[in-house]
Chain A
Amino acid sequence: MSEITFAIVGSGGDGAVAAGDILSMACARDGLHVIKTEAYGPQIRGGESSCTVRVSSEKIYAQADDVDALIVFNWADFGRFRSEISLSADAFVLHEAKDPAPPEIATDRVFGVPFNDLAREAGAPNGKNILALGILAELFGLPAEAIRAAIAKRFAKKAQAVVDSNLAAFDRGVMYCSGLARPSRRLEYVKTTPHLLMSGNEVCAVAAIDAGCRFFAGYPITPSSEVLHFLAEWLPRIGGSTLQTEDELAAIGAVVGGSFAGVKSMTATSGPGLSLMAEMLGLASIAEIPAVVYNVQRGGPSTGIPTKSEQSDLMHALYASHGDTPRVVLSCSDVEDTYQATVDSFNIAEEFQIPVITLTDQSIAQRRETIAAETLEHEVVERRIAHDLTGYKRYRLTEDGVSPMSIPGMSGGMYQTNGLEHDEQGRPSSMYVVHERMNEKRFLKLEAVAKKYRLFTRFGPQKAGIGILCWGSSAGVVREAIAKLNAEGIAAAAFVPRILMPLPAEEIEKFIASVDELLVVELSHSQQFYRYLRTQVDMPRNRTHVYARSGGRALRVGEVIEQVKRFALSEVTA
Chain B
Amino acid sequence: MNGYSPLSYKTDLKPVWCPGCGDFGVLNSLYRALAELKIEPHDTVVVSGIGCSSRLPGYVEAYGFNSLHGRALPIATGAKLASPALKVIAVGGDGDGVAIGGNHFLHAARRNTDLTYIMMDNEIYGLTKGQAAPTTPIGDKTKSTTYGNPEAAVDPCALAISFGATWVGRGFSGDVKGTAELMKLAIAHKGFAFLDIISPCVTWRGDDQHKEIRAKLRTLPAGYDKTKRTSADAYTNEADVVTTGVLFEVEHPTLIDEILEIRWKAQGDKQPPTRKDLLKAFTPSF
Contacts and interface: CB of A to CB of B under 8 A. Distances in A.
Interface of A: 25-26, 28-29, 146, 149-150, 152-153, 194-198, 202, 206, 209, 214-215, 217, 233-234, 236-239, 241, 243, 245-247, 249-263, 265, 279-280, 283, 287, 373, 376, 408-420, 426-428
B57 to A, nearest CB: 5
Contact of A254 (B41, B57, B74): B74
Interface residues of B, number: 54
B53 to A, nearest CB: 14
Given A408-B42, A419-B68, A261 B79 contact: yes
A245 B103 CA distance: 10
B272 A237 contact: yes
B74 A253 contact: yes
B10 to A, nearest CB: 13
Given A28-B284, A206-B279, A245-B74, A415 B64 contact: yes
Nearest to A202: B282
Given A29-B286, A257-B75, A416 B58 contact: yes
Contact of A260 (B58, B61, B79, B278): B79
B78 A255 contact: yes
B141 interface: no
B278 A253 contact: no
24 contacts: A25-B284, A25-B286, A28-B284, A153-B285, A195-B284, A196-B279, A234-B273, A246-B104, A249-B71, A250-B107, A253-B104, A258-B81, A258-B82, A259-B78, A260-B78, A263-B82, A279-B68, A408-B45, A408-B63, A409-B42, A416-B11, A416-B65, A417-B66, A428-B58
Q: Count chain A CB atoms within 10 A of each CB in B11, B61, B80, B263 and give the residue with the most.
A: B263
Contacts of B222: none
A238 B282 contact: no
A90 to B, nearest CB: 30
A171 B272 CA distance: 42
Interface in B258-285: 259, 262-263, 265-267, 272-273, 278-279, 282-285
B42 A236 contact: no
Given A197-B284, A265-B78, A414 B266 contact: no
Contacts of B44: 408
Nearest to A198: B282
A144 to B, nearest CB: 14
A198 B279 CA distance: 9
B4 to A, nearest CB: 14
B208 interface: no
Contact of B78 (A217, A236, A283, A415): A217
Q: Count chain B CB atoms within 10 A of each CB in A255, A256, A279 and give the residue with the most.
A: A256
Interface in B64-92: 64-68, 70-71, 73-83, 85-86
Given A249-B74, A416-B57, A419-B67, A262 B267 contact: no
A259 B82 CA distance: 8
A197 B279 CA distance: 10
A164 B43 CA distance: 62
Given A194-B283, A215-B78, A408-B83, 17 more contacts: A146-B286, A197-B282, A209-B278, A217-B74, A238-B267, A243-B78, A246-B104, A246-B106, A246-B107, A250-B107, A253-B71, A280-B68, A283-B67, A408-B63, A409-B42, A414-B41, A428-B55
A215 B81 contact: yes
Nearest to A368: B282
A390 to B, nearest CB: 15
B281 to A, nearest CB: 8
Contacts of A250: 71, 73-74, 77, 103-104, 107
Nearest to A411: B42
Nearest to A253: B74
A234 B284 contact: no
A196 B283 contact: yes
B118 interface: no
